[in-house]
Structure 1
Amino acid sequence: MTLFGPKVPLPPIPDDVSIPQFMLRAAGRLRPLRPSNVPFFIEDKTGRAVSFEEVHYRTYGLANALSIKWNIGVKDVVCLFTPNHVDYAPAIWAVHTLGGIITPANPNYTSDELKYQLTTSKAKLLITHPNCLDTARSAAHAYGLTDASIILLDPSPTPGITTAEELISFGASRPENYKAIVYKPGETKKTLAFLSFSSGTTGKPKAVAITHFSVVANISQMSAHYHMDDPSYPHKRIIPGDVIMGVLPFFHIYGLVVILHFTLWAGTSIVVVPKFNFTDFLNTISRHRVTHLYLVPPQIVLLTKHPAVKGRDFSHVKFCMSGAAPLSGDLMKQLTKILPNASIGQGYGLTETCTTISQLQPERMLGTIGSAGALIPGVVAKVVKADGTLAKEGEQGELIVTGPWMPREYYGNPTATAETFVDGWVRTGDEVIIRDNEIFVVDRLKEIMKVRGFQVAPAELEGHLLLHPDVVDVCVVGVPDDYSGEVPMAFVVPSSNALKRINQGQGQAVKKMIEKHVSDAKIQYKWLAGGVEFIDAIPKNPSGKILRRVLREKAKTFVRPQRVIQPKL
């Protein structure tokens, strides 16, 4: 049996502490000591520093208020629907302190998409931001929550909706209304912390059930990978006092675990950026002397190609990690010119594995071209070929991984669980080659597209497109895009009525109507940026399954206009 794993051993991982206990209280041999003058967070817009003491105060003040006013307790679910915010982590940890569960939601969701997440997770409360309030209220009311169950992270003129600031002051001024949870050994392996949504292998997004132990373990794995317990290790890539760019969304598993938890635990400060704007992003790097960039390929494309970068000095940046989608070798080489002193590489992971499976090796200044990094301590991997046999080193097949910390199910969805979580192993759906314990992602076996690092399920878009009267049948595939990695494109079998209009020269108008049908209902990265193409019939096998690979190849024959990168200023 061919199994792959790292050479660095995995240290003991505490299985009797919650995430906030681990982040705010626990000390251990792996944990670096945070100097007293190093804040947890820096608010990008104002420069306000939020210290450990203030984070602690806000976490437990909010926890007490949630307990008093809404009786939030064990297994109650709270949805966090907001851009990045300095109170994002305190809100998470407050709910966890009470034994509750957080379901983080994309702040750009439509009302219907948010309602789906509220319904699937059975959320009891909704914490949001004034910028998201209209969507939040619409979804909450449709789901069955009133304004009394909505909390705003920042003040708003909307009457009847309380704010986090009011709740923190209220909770901090009252006697403690809850009992601190003391976990028994092994108990946090079964205690849910997050319901993080992922498209999985097919269909609508599903909630990955992530325990407290899963997050604590992944932090410990990354700490061991970077030799944080060895003061004499010469290749320290992250140390207390480093400054992290917190621009990737915290609701995404990459931002949630790697940035918001691992880097904080390592003693760094996170510059909290609510929304990505490229020129502001460049100014933030310089203004706060950011040392660590955790990015996705579209942001790296801008760093290497946008004229606003010219003449800027980023010599203080010492680390740059790309994740969520593959990064080409050409981009890596170009990036070394922009960040001359930075260690640059890739990482790889899934929501279904509670993030990190592999990362750039700490002794490397530049990752191997095409590599998603080396397996981190504790990961056991195997590669399964199409015929079901195990691949040897250097052979191609589906990556399947395991470890004691990995999630074991999609919440309330046994059918989808059976497809991905098999006998303690997680099927990634990614076709890879492993060489020297490095992962090289070759292709995705599953149908999910990665658009700017976000997952897009073709089946979700196909189901929506079939509601349009001009669409008889449809297949959505991903097509390559320099900026987004790939974008959705729809092959449509038109209805007889649509076909008449197409034959009358109205084909472009029909395409625009079909594209608008998606853009009116879905978040922007799910729009049909690859366009619509008409086809006589969708190719399928004898059992009726779409032959998606056939249409992927067909899509490559179309000439798509080159996109001009013009970020919003």
Structure 2
Amino acid sequence: MPQTDLPPPPPLAEPNLAAVIRRHAEQRPDAPALVEVGEQGRRSMTWAEFDQAVTESASGLVELGLVAGQRVLIQAKPTLDAVATWFGALRAGIVAVPVNPGKTPNELRRVALHCGARVLVGDPETDLPGVRAVPLDELRSHAGSAPLASPQDPEAVGAIIYTSGTSGNPKGAMLSHRALIAHCVGAYRRGIARRDATVLCCLPLFHVFGLNAVLGAGVFVGATTVFVEGIPENLGEILRAEQITHLPLIPSVLYRLTLNEDLTDACRSLQTVTSGAAPLPAALAAHWLRLTGIPVHQGYGLTEAAPGVSNTIGTDWLGSNHVGRALPGVEIRIGDGSEPTEPGEVMIRGDNLFSGYWPDGTDGVSEDGWFATGDVGYLMGEDLFLVDRLREVIIVSGFNVYPAEIEDVLEQHPDVAAAAVVGQADENTGERVVAFVTGDAVQAAAVLTFASARLARYKLPSEILVIKAMPRSASGKIRKNILRDMLDRTDEDDF
């Protein structure tokens, strides 16, 4: 079992996550820091090369006219150039705004206008009014010779991360340098991030899971981080060739790996597997364990927590809704704390919390430091169990119905690949339960019969709709707003 609750690491010379790169470069300049595996082959950087690339990227941003506090959009592909740009922005005190390279021009314009960005590092063909576009691989060529000064205020905003917007319009969460570092410290102390690890990052770098839980924490401890874009067909081969020891991923990627014919050999070097960003079905976790003998740990977090809240590393597996114990430095309570074993809103407090939403810090932490996550859960001792999103609770005839419970039952049916449950207005009961399922051979009637033997009548879906694929965000979360739109738009359509 991995070590847990290690003592705090030595303090950084300055309150900036990029400062740790210089420390690694001084202590072991020739050790491998980053590896990129893609269609163009394999590239790598030592810590000394990485530190130089970060300095040049920071200087390039300054030479483009940016000053500390101004915003830069980074089309965050999982490449060494994008990583150097991200840390270069942190080092120069410029606020990094990672964006999805797949965003449409209209979506990019909306983000650029909202955050007031002046420069975009990424696709040079992107046309944004008032925003200068520079290719990722050319930023360092703009570097000058003037010395750089990193920000010394830990509360200065380091990044604005736009949430996925599954519950409405996307909002920009302001993460300070303090928050970014605090998550990395907590991950180190829990044993999630280790210096001797080789970590595979197959997660998007515009999402806080890949950006700080994987990349940030790995760089903080001095691990080697290997990047791949998307989910390549040869992912198993990459695991084997790069001798990956730590694999953080989302459930859909875990499922794809189970289909690898050479899975046992591909996982030979694996030591730790962690799932996050979306609920991990218990059946999938058990299937993976049977195939590999390696348990899957589950983490819980959110953009506003940079992102870590809890993890099952160092605890026993207690079911699919068990998300472990709070990371060191994080406090958890349920509601007002008076009834922790009863389902209520999960509240969190810690240095990893954001500074509110851009631009004026609205809807941030309370005066006493607590943040309402919008998730429903309960505590059994120190162990946190999630029930559902607060906003997704369905009220049927006065009874609270939690979609996650129903989805868990539906996904136990052998023909169901994925399930999502939403509420729909009903004149008789207030709301009714509607389920969407996917699967090659799934039949709605058979699934309903299966569920009726396992769910109370008021929890039973009044309708089960079979669809080809679940709409998902880049981080793998099912976009229930799209499913609700399907119901609102064409209730009688054959999906």
RCO comparison, higher one (Cα < 8 Å, 6+): 1
Please report the TM-score for the alignment, with normalisation by the length of structure 2.
Answer: 0.76
Counterparts of 2:22 and 2:35 in 1: how far apart (Å)? 17
Out of 19, 22, 26, the position equivalent to 1:21 is: 19
Tell me the equivalent position of 2:313: 361
Counterparts of 1:13 and 1:548 in 2: how far apart (Å)? 53
Tell me the equivalent position of 1:318: 271
Pairing 1:340-359 to 2, within 5 Å after superposition: 340=293, 342-359=294-311
* DSSP-derived class of the 1:221 partner: helix
Out of 331, 334, 343, the position equivalent to 1:383 is: 334
The yes-or-no answer on 1:421 pairing with 2:365 is: yes
Segments of 5+ residues of structure 1 without an aligned counterpart are: 1-5, 28-32, 155-162, 227-236, 449-476, 492-537
- Asked if the contact 1:72/1:98 (under 8 Å) is kept, the reply is no
Tell me the equivalent position of 1:373: 324
* DSSP-derived class of the 1:25 partner: helix
Counterparts of 2:56 and 2:261 in 1: how far apart (Å)? 43
Counterparts of 1:96 and 1:238 in 2: how far apart (Å)? 21
Q: How far apart are residue 356 of structure 1 and its match?
A: 0.4
Note the alpha carbon deviations across 1:353-376, whole angstroms, 9 max, x for none: 1110111233x5x63322112111
Out of 379, 394, 402, the position equivalent to 1:434 is: 379
Tell me the equivalent position of 1:65: 60
Tell me the equivalent position of 2:108: 114
Q: How far apart are residue 240 of structure 1 and its match?
A: 2.8
* DSSP-derived class of the 1:398 partner: strand
Note the alpha carbon deviations across 1:414-460, whole angstroms, 9 max, x for none: 6xx33x63332111111111113121111111249xxxxxxxxxxxx
Tell me the equivalent position of 1:400: 347
Question: RMSD of the alignment, in Å?
Answer: 3.5
Tell me the equivalent position of 1:42: 35
Counterparts of 1:433 and 1:259 in 2: how far apart (Å)? 27
* DSSP-derived class of the 1:56 partner: helix
Q: 1:391 to 1:111 in 2, by over 3 A?
A: farther
The yes-or-no answer on 1:205 pairing with 2:170 is: yes
Which amino acid counterpart does residue 560 of structure 1 have in structure 2?
L
Counterparts of 1:12 and 1:36 in 2: how far apart (Å)? 19
Counterparts of 1:297 and 1:439 in 2: how far apart (Å)? 19
Q: How far apart are residue 201 of structure 1 and its match?
A: 8.4
Which amino acid counterpart does residue 557 of structure 1 have in structure 2?
S
Which amino acid counterpart does residue 367 of structure 1 have in structure 2?
W
Q: 1:78 to 1:34 in 2, by over 3 A?
A: same
* DSSP-derived class of the 1:50 partner: strand
Pairing 1:130-149 to 2, within 5 Å after superposition: 137=126, 140-141=127-128, 143-145=129-131, 149=132
Tell me the equivalent position of 1:556: 461
Q: How far apart are residue 220 of structure 1 and its match?
A: 1.1
Q: How far apart are residue 34 of structure 1 and its match?
A: 7.1
Which amino acid counterpart does residue 180 of structure 1 have in structure 2?
A
Q: 1:447 to 1:126 in 2, by over 3 A?
A: farther
Q: 1:307 to 1:256 in 2, by over 3 A?
A: closer
Please report the TM-score for the alignment, with normalisation by the length of structure 1.
Answer: 0.67
Counterparts of 1:152 and 1:333 in 2: how far apart (Å)? 44
Pairing 1:32-181 to 2, within 5 Å after superposition: 36-45=29-38, 46-68=41-63, 70-129=64-123, 137=126, 140-141=127-128, 143-145=129-131, 149-154=132-137, 163-164=138-139, 168-171=140-143, 174-176=144-146, 178-181=147-150
| Higher Rg of the two aligned structures | 1
Counterparts of 1:556 and 1:206 in 2: how far apart (Å)? 32
Which amino acid counterpart does residue 366 of structure 2 have in structure 1?
V
Q: How far apart are residue 20 of structure 1 and its match?
A: 1.1
Q: 1:61 to 1:37 in 2, by over 3 A?
A: closer
Tell me the equivalent position of 2:231: 276
Out of 284, 288, 313, the position equivalent to 2:242 is: 288
Q: How far apart are residue 79 of structure 1 and its match?
A: 0.5
Counterparts of 1:555 and 1:252 in 2: how far apart (Å)? 34
Tell me the equivalent position of 2:451: none
* DSSP-derived class of the 1:433 partner: strand
Which amino acid counterpart does residue 111 of structure 2 have in structure 1?
Q
Q: 1:339 to 1:34 in 2, by over 3 A?
A: farther
The yes-or-no answer on 1:222 pairing with 2:187 is: yes
Q: 1:25 to 1:7 in 2, by over 3 A?
A: closer
Q: How far apart are residue 86 of structure 1 and its match?
A: 1.1
- Asked if the contact 1:96/1:102 (under 8 Å) is kept, the reply is yes
* DSSP-derived class of the 1:64 partner: helix
- Asked if the contact 2:59/2:148 (under 8 Å) is kept, the reply is no
Counterparts of 2:87 and 2:260 in 1: how far apart (Å)? 41
Q: 1:547 to 1:313 in 2, by over 3 A?
A: same
Counterparts of 1:421 and 1:201 in 2: how far apart (Å)? 21
Query: Which has the higher mean CA deviation after the structures are superposed, 480-489 or 437-446?
Result: 480-489
Counterparts of 1:250 and 1:269 in 2: how far apart (Å)? 16
Note the alpha carbon deviations across 1:328-383, whole angstroms, 9 max, x for none: 2221111113332x352111111011110111233x5x633221121111111210
Counterparts of 1:295 and 1:445 in 2: how far apart (Å)? 25
Query: Which has the higher mean CA deviation after the structures are superposed, 289-298 or 369-378?
Result: 369-378
* DSSP-derived class of the 2:465 partner: coil
Segments of 5+ residues of structure 2 without an aligned counterpart are: 394-402, 436-457, 471-495
- Asked if the contact 2:323/2:384 (under 8 Å) is kept, the reply is yes
* DSSP-derived class of the 1:289 partner: coil
- Asked if the contact 1:297/1:322 (under 8 Å) is kept, the reply is yes
Note the alpha carbon deviations across 1:445-490, whole angstroms, 9 max, x for none: 1249xxxxxxxxxxxxxxxxxxxxxxxxxxxx99959699656989
Tell me the equivalent position of 2:202: 247
Which amino acid counterpart does residue 463 of structure 2 have in structure 1?
F
Counterparts of 2:134 and 2:23 in 1: how far apart (Å)? 27
Counterparts of 2:427 and 2:78 in 1: how far apart (Å)? 43
Q: 1:351 to 1:175 in 2, by over 3 A?
A: same
* DSSP-derived class of the 2:466 partner: coil
What is the aligned length? 426
Q: 1:144 to 1:540 in 2, by over 3 A?
A: farther
Q: How far apart are residue 44 of structure 1 and its match?
A: 0.9
**How many percent identity over aligned positions?**
22
* DSSP-derived class of the 2:68 partner: coil
Note the alpha carbon deviations across 1:491-524, whole angstroms, 9 max, x for none: 7xxxxxxxxxxxxxxxxxxxxxxxxxxxxxxxxx
Counterparts of 1:193 and 1:299 in 2: how far apart (Å)? 30
Counterparts of 1:563 and 1:253 in 2: how far apart (Å)? 29
Q: 1:170 to 1:127 in 2, by over 3 A?
A: closer
Q: How far apart are residue 175 of structure 1 and its match?
A: 2.2
* DSSP-derived class of the 1:87 partner: helix
- Asked if the contact 1:400/1:428 (under 8 Å) is kept, the reply is yes
* DSSP-derived class of the 2:243 partner: coil
Counterparts of 2:102 and 2:422 in 1: how far apart (Å)? 21
Tell me the equivalent position of 2:399: none
